[in-house]
Structure 1
Amino acid sequence: EDAYYASGLELAARTGVSEATVVRFWRSIGYSTSMEFKLSLSRDLARASSGRSSGD
């Protein structure tokens, strides 16, 4: 969840890679921007959270 609020530079520092590596990762999995990736991540986390709370 912290990844949503972190910049590419912050994610790079937390994972021990360069910011360019973070950007290449987003692009390699089909996202053109960090915001696109973060919105998708946010939706996935919300779905996972609602699944747990409903007993699925």
Structure 2
Amino acid sequence: MVDGIFEEFADEINAKVASSVQDREREMARNMLAEGDSVEKISRITHLSEEEIRKL
């Protein structure tokens, strides 16, 4: 029972960390766009798709 609770808690933490990383990548992409960097360069650095970057 304790293992199940721990696994559920770990899954929740992992989801929050992944969400935070994605938020940070998008923030970085917005800043790079503002600086005039190319979509291709931003995609290489942030690992976001070019399509997602264009939506920002």
The bucket for the TM-score relative to the shorter chain is: 0.3 to 0.5
Which of structures 1 and 2 has the bigger CA Rg? Answer: 2
TM-score with structure 2 length normalisation?
A: 0.41
Q: TM-score, normalised by structure 1?
A: 0.41
